[in-house]
Structure 1
Amino acid sequence: MKHYLTIPIIFLLLATLSCKDDKNEQVKQDDKIKEMNNEQFFKLSLAQWSLNENIRFQGMDPFDFARIADSLEFEGLEYVSQLYKPFYEKNGIDALVKKLAEESKKYNQNNILIMVDNEGDLADPDEAKRDEAVELHKKWVDAAAALGCHSIRVNTFGTNDPDIWHNAVVDGLKKLSTYAATKNVNVLCENHGWLSSDPDKLMKALNEVNMENCGTLPDFGNWCIKRKDGENWGECEEEYTDKYKGIELLMPKAKAVSAKSYAFDENGNETTLDYVRILQIVKDAGYRGYIGVEFEGGLPEEEGIVSTKNLLISANQKLK
C-alpha cells in the first residue's frame, strides 16, 4: 500500500509547490506593474523665484542659482529675468547669456525656460504699446534660444475687460509666437494673475492664436483674477474657484508645469493644495516634462524648496 500511495502524494506535493510558484510569480508581476506605474513621470527643475527673497533682499548672487540647484539635486533651471536686471542693464543680454551658460554647464544643469517680467503688456489695448511689448520680449526669445531653453513664460496684463483683453492678447501672443517660432522657442502663458488666471478665457485665446509654440505653464497656485484697486499684485478680491478644474483645463497645451507651494503640515503635505490630486491630473494629461519647484512661503527658502521637492516625490508614489 505504501508503494502505491507514494506517487499520488508526490503529484500532490508538486502541484502544491507549482501553485505557490504561480502565486509568487503573480505577486512579483503585480509588484512590478505597481512599480512601473509609480515611476517618477517627471524630472525636477528649480524655479529661481523660489530664491527671490534671498536675491532681492539678502544679497544672494543670482549667478549662484545653478550651484544651489545642483546642491539640492535638481536637473534643470527656470530663470527669472527681473532678478538679473542690474547685470544686463549694465553689461547687456549677450554677457548675461554667456555667464548663465557657463554656470549651468559647470554644474551640469539643463536650461529649461526664462520667466519674463516687466517688458510691457502683451494684452495692452493700445496696439502701439502692445507691439512695443512684443519687441521688448524678443531679446528674451533670443536669450532662451542661445541657452537651449525650450520656452519663455510671459505675462498677459494690459486690461481686465474680457472682451477687450481677448482680441488684444491674441494679437500680442500671435506676433511674439511668430517670431519665437523662427528660434524654435515656445511662448507660454502661466495662470499669473488677472484674466490669465481664468483658464476658460485663457484657453479660448490660445485656441484662437492656434500656434504649436504658443502654450501654457499651469501653476498649482496663482488663481487671482482681480486684485484690489486694479493692481497686478497685492490683495486679491476675486479668485477662480476650482483650481483643480483650472489645471485640468490648462494641461492640453502645457509645455511646462510649476509646483507652487506656500506652507506644509506635520506630515509634509501642502496645506492649501492636494499634490496627489494635482499630479494625477498632470500625469493623466500625458505630460512627461519637467515640473518646476516654486516655493513662496514663510519658511527659509532652501527649506521650503526641499519640502516641495520631497512632497512631489512622495505624492508621485501615490498615483494610480
Structure 2
Amino acid sequence: MQADRRHFLKLMSGLAIGATGIGCLGSKAAAASGASPVFFEISLAQWSLHKALFAKQMDNLDFAAKARKDFGIGIVEYVNQFFKDKANDTAYLNEMLKRCKDNDVKNHLIMIDGEGELGNLNEAERIKAVENHYRWVDAAKYLGCATIRVNAAGKGSAEEVAKAAADGLSRLGEYGSKVGINVIVENHGGYSSNGAWLSGVMKQVNKPNVGTLPDFGNFCIKRDPANWRTCQESYDRYQGTAELMPFAKGVSAKSNNFDEAGNEKETDYMKILKIVKDSGFKGIVGIEYEGDVLSEDEGIRKTKALLEKVRTALS
C-alpha cells in the first residue's frame, strides 16, 4: 500500500513537471511572495465563493483565473469539496496546474473535509480517517501546495478527544513529512474552537510539520441545533488567536459584514492582526468571506481592502 502510494506520487510529480515546468512554484507570484517585505501575503480561500460553486455558477477549474483577474490575488486555497473525486485524477490535476500557470497563481493549501474524524476514539476508525487523508497529501504535493488543512474532530470528553486527535494528527503528520507537506488544524467548531484545547493538542503532537490555521471567526464551540447561525457558547477570538499563533502555518481572515468605514463588524482587524504580527508570523493570510449582505465578489474585495489597509498600518 505504502509502496503503491509512493510510486503514484512519483509518477504524478513527473507528469506535473512535464505539464507545467515546475508546477506553479516557479511563478512570479511565488517569487514575489518570498521576496516581499510585508509580514503577510494575501491569498483567496475558495470557500469565499462557495455559493457560486455549489450553485454551479462557477467551476473549481475557474478558481485560479477568477482570483487573479477579478481580485488581483495570486495565491489560492482550495476546498476539497469542489473536486472531491479528483484527488488521484492526474489529467484533472494537470488542468488545475495549467490554469494556475496561465494566470500566474500559486497554490498554497487544500482544505479537507468529509474524510473522517482524526480524533475518533475508535482506533480503527481513526486510522481509516488518517488514511483517507493520504490522497489529499499526495494531491497537495502534486499541485505545488505547502499544506493541507484538516479538522481535529471526535466525540467524547475533551481529554479523550485531545488524546485521540493528537494520535491521528501525529500519524498523518508523519505521512506528510515524507513528502514535505504540512498538516494544519483550523479552529472549526467543538473542542477545536477552544484555543487552549487546540494548542494543547499541538503540544502533544510536537511535530514541525503539524500546526494550526487560526480562523478569526470560528471560535463558536457550541451552536444552536435549531439555528446553526446562533452560537450558544463561544471562545474569545483574540485570546484564541494568541494561543494558536505559536503553531500557525497560515491564518484565515474570516469576514461577514462591514461598516461604512470598511471595517469588519465582528472582528477588530487591527487588534487581531497585531496579535498575528506580534507572534512573529510571516506567511499567508487567506480571505474567507462568509457574509450574506454583500455579494461574494464584493465581500472578497472589501476583505482584501481591509487587510491591505491594516497591513500597511502595521508594517
Q: Fold match, TM over 0.5?
A: yes
Shift of 1:279: 1.0
Shift of 1:309: 0.2
What's the counterpart of residue 123 of structure 1?
Answer: 119
Q: Counterparts of 2:122 and 2:156 in 1: how far apart (Å)?
A: 14
Judge conservation of contact 2:121–2:156 (CA < 8 Å) in 1. no
Q: Counterparts of 1:182 and 1:169 in 2: how far apart (Å)?
A: 20
Judge conservation of contact 2:86–2:93 (CA < 8 Å) in 1. no
AA partner of residue 55 (structure 1): L
Q: Counterparts of 2:223 and 2:269 in 1: how far apart (Å)?
A: 26
Q: Counterparts of 2:253 and 2:224 in 1: how far apart (Å)?
A: 26
SS at 2:188's partner residue?
coil
Q: Which structure 2 residues correspond to residues 190-269 of structure 1 after superposition, within 5 A?
A: 190-229=186-225, 235-240=230-235, 242-269=236-263
What's the counterpart of residue 76 of structure 1?
Answer: 75
Judge conservation of contact 1:115–1:152 (CA < 8 Å) in 2. yes
Q: Percent identity?
A: 46
SS at 2:86's partner residue?
helix
What's the counterpart of residue 294 of structure 1?
Answer: 288
Determine which of 282, 291, 305 is the counterpart of 2:276.
282
SS at 1:40's partner residue?
coil
Shift of 1:166: 1.1
Query: Alpha carbons of 1:256 and 1:132: their partners in 2 closer, same or farther (altered >3 Å)?
Result: same
Q: Max radius of gyration: which structure? A: 1
Count of matched residue positions in the alignment of Structure 1 and Structure 2? 277
Structure 1 segments of 4+ aligned residues over 3 angstroms from their partners: 228-231
SS at 2:314's partner residue?
coil
Shift of 1:235: 4.2
What's the counterpart of residue 151 of structure 1?
Answer: 147
Determine which of 295, 299, 305 is the counterpart of 1:310.
305
SS at 1:79's partner residue?
strand
CA RMSD of aligned residues (A): 1.8
Q: Counterparts of 1:99 and 1:283 in 2: how far apart (Å)?
A: 36
Matched, 1:273 2:272: no
Q: Residue by residue, what CA displacement relative to the aligned partner does 1:139-159 show, whole Å, maximum 9, x if unpaired?
A: 000011111111000011121
AA partner of residue 101 (structure 1): L
SS at 2:218's partner residue?
coil
Shift of 1:284: 1.1
Q: Which runs of 5+ in 2 are unaligned?
A: 1-36
Shift of 1:160: 5.1
Which deviates more, 156-165 or 191-200? 156-165
SS at 2:265's partner residue?
coil
Matched, 1:44 2:39: no
Judge conservation of contact 1:93–1:139 (CA < 8 Å) in 2. no
